[in-house]
Amino acid sequence: MNPLSGKHIVLGLSGGIACYKAAELARLLVKAGATVQAVMTEAAGQFITAVTLQALTGRAVVASQWDLREPNAMAHINLSREADAILIAPCSADFIARLAQGRSDELLSLLCVARPIERVPLLLAPAMNREMWAHPATQRNLMQVAADGAVSLGVGCGEQACGETGDGRMLEPAEIIEELEAFFTPKRLAGERVLITAGPTFEAIDPVRGITNHSSGKMGFAIARAAREAGAQVTLIAGPVHLPTPRGVARVDVHSARNMFEAVEQHAPTATVFIATAAVADWRPAAVALHKIKKDGSGAVPQLSFVENPDILAHVAASPRARHGQLYCVGFAAESEDLLANASAKRKRKGVPLLVGNIGPATFGQDDNALLLVDETGAQELPRASKRELGRALVQQMAERMRGRQ
């Protein structure tokens, strides 16, 4: 289940051109299962209308402390008591300054001051010109606001509406959603350092050709995101895939199985969990031609011979740290038939405590999957669901098993 499902979010908009992105953000929050109550400052009303937000959230927007639709005329109390979180997006430089001072002369800052501080988190998505962001007053105010218990989600870097380039853009709506989902996820993997391989590998034949497979990397990326949400420090070693890096995850791009093996060897000594989701090519061409292999017109075909690639998972699982329980190893099995028998045999062969079986052809490239978890006690199904949901479910299952081992 999405961690935002059933949450009630007060979405506060202060003045800034990034207000146009708040519409998309409201839509994504609703899609994730949250209820959204939009609150706008007067300045926000210069950039986006209440009609837009009301239509997207299905709730009347509140913009004034003196809104007489509230039966008790206490919008600041009602709104802040109902919220599971208050998210200010966009949060302008002026609004940060107002928060730093504890101002309460308009509804949005008033309800931030009035919120029960222990129970209702205040999350900020700042948005402003790069000079405003870098200004010592803004940074000073932000530090004060953080010391008072608010959480800044950070800013993006890049081209700004004003034409300048630098830090200060509001995070994209999807990035804010990622941060929020992480915020609401129990920190089951706190303190863990998780290393994940994902995607296919590419084994070169010559400078323009190679051998690869249909793995999209989506399952591994979803697990990386879920592990980070659960509080782990995550390194993701990715074969050639076109997927955005989950927020807060360190990514290392590799091509061949041997590149992946080297990257894993470099990171495994400091990891506490290793999850091998990559569809690693079992063989590579014995020799890579220096130049493109050309047809010679005679109809003769090139003769390729292969050598076996290192088995990354088996190698890591056999390391002393894994054998002494300091590195928990999880393998995947991409099968085309007889999942339980193949996965159980593979678990033993690879020497891992947990092996996750899936039917490769049914899931490669798809957004959903079904998993079969095989450990020493037997097998457990995680029924068909989105890879995002399965990633979260798997992290939960792993965390339980790891706790059981301590």
Closer residue to ligand CTP, CB minimum distance, 314 or 385: 314
Structure tokens belonging to residue 371: 């998993």
Closer residue to ligand CTP, CB minimum distance, 32 or 312: 312
Collapsing DSSP states into helix, strand and coil, what is residue 153? Answer: coil
Q: From the CB of 188, what's the least distance to ligand CTP, in Å?
A: 22
Report which secondary-structure segment, H or E, holds 56: helix 50-57
Contact status: 359 vs ligand CTP (CB under 6 A) = no
Structure tokens belonging to residue 104: 């309460």
Query: Pairing mode, if any, of strands 378-386 and 328-335?
Result: unpaired
From 130, 146, 258, select the one nearest 197 (Cα to Cα). 258
Closer residue to ligand CTP, CB minimum distance, 70 or 311: 311
Q: From the CB of 240, what's the least distance to ligand CTP, in Å?
A: 15
Residues in binding contact with ligand CTP, number by CB under 6 A = 17
Contact status: 11 vs ligand CTP (CB under 6 A) = no
161-165 — which CB contacts under 8 Å span 24+ positions? 161/17, 161/18, 162/129, 164/129, 164/130, 164/131, 165/130
Collapsing DSSP states into helix, strand and coil, what is residue 314? Answer: helix
Q: What is the pattern of x (binds ligand CTP, CB under 6 A) and - over residues 123-162?
A: ----------------------------------------
Contact status: 333 vs ligand CTP (CB under 6 A) = yes
Closer residue to ligand CTP, CB minimum distance, 14 or 342: 342
Buried b / exposed e along 20-46 (16+ C-beta atoms within 10 A):
ebbbebbbbbbebebbbbbbbbebbee
Q: Are 100 and 93 in contact (CB under 8 A)?
A: no
Q: Which stretch binds ligand CTP (CB under 6 A): 14-22, 114-122, 328-336, 398-406?
A: 328-336
Residue 58 CA, distance from chain mean position: 28
Q: What is the pattern of x (binds ligand CTP, CB under 6 A) and - over residues 265-304?
A: -----------x-xxx-x----------------------
How many Å apart are CA 234 and CA 246, to the nearest integer?
10
- Give residue for tokens 């995680």: 382
- If one counts every other C-beta atom within 10 angstroms of the C-beta of residue 49, the result is 15
Q: Which stretch binds ligand CTP (CB under 6 A): 15-23, 92-100, 330-338, 373-381?
A: 330-338
Closer residue to ligand CTP, CB minimum distance, 129 or 201: 201
Q: From the CB of 394, what's the least distance to ligand CTP, in Å?
A: 13
Helices (H) then strands (E): counts for the chain: 15, 19
The only residue of 311, 368, 393, 401 in contact with ligand CTP, by rule CB under 6 A: 311
Contact status: 309 vs ligand CTP (CB under 6 A) = yes
Contact status: 232 vs ligand CTP (CB under 6 A) = no
Catalytic residue list contains 162 = yes
Structure tokens belonging to residue 55: 């239509």
Contact status: 95 vs ligand CTP (CB under 6 A) = no
Q: Which stretch binds ligand CTP (CB under 6 A): 130-138, 240-248, 306-314, 375-383?
A: 306-314
Q: From the CB of 284, what's the least distance to ligand CTP, in Å?
A: 10
Q: From the CB of 184, what's the least distance to ligand CTP, in Å?
A: 30
Query: Pairing mode, if any, of strands 8-13 and 85-91?
Result: parallel
Q: From the CB of 225, what's the least distance to ligand CTP, in Å?
A: 18
Question: Where would I find the H helices in 3-49?
Answer: 19-31
Q: From the CB of 331, what's the least distance to ligand CTP, in Å?
A: 4
Contact status: 313 vs ligand CTP (CB under 6 A) = yes
How many Å apart are CA 109 and CA 60, to the nearest integer?
19
How many Å apart are CA 265 and CA 235, to the nearest integer?
13
Give me the amino acid identity at 327. L
Contact status: 112 vs ligand CTP (CB under 6 A) = no
Contact status: 312 vs ligand CTP (CB under 6 A) = yes
Q: Which stretch binds ligand CTP (CB under 6 A): 71-79, 82-90, 102-110, 325-333?
A: 325-333
Residues 184-203 that bind ligand CTP (CB under 6 A): 197
Contact status: 381 vs ligand CTP (CB under 6 A) = no
E-strand stretches of 92-240: 122-126, 151-152, 156-159, 165-169, 193-198, 203-206, 209-211, 233-238
Of the candidates 19, 91, 157, 162, the residue annotated as catalytic is: 162
Contact status: 374 vs ligand CTP (CB under 6 A) = no
How many Å apart are CA 275 and CA 271, to the nearest integer?
10
Give me the amino acid identity at 77. I
How many Å apart are CA 200 and CA 198, to the nearest integer?
7
Residues in contact with ligand CTP by CB under 6 A are: 197, 257, 276, 278-280, 282, 309, 311-313, 331-334, 346, 350
Residues marked active site are found at 162
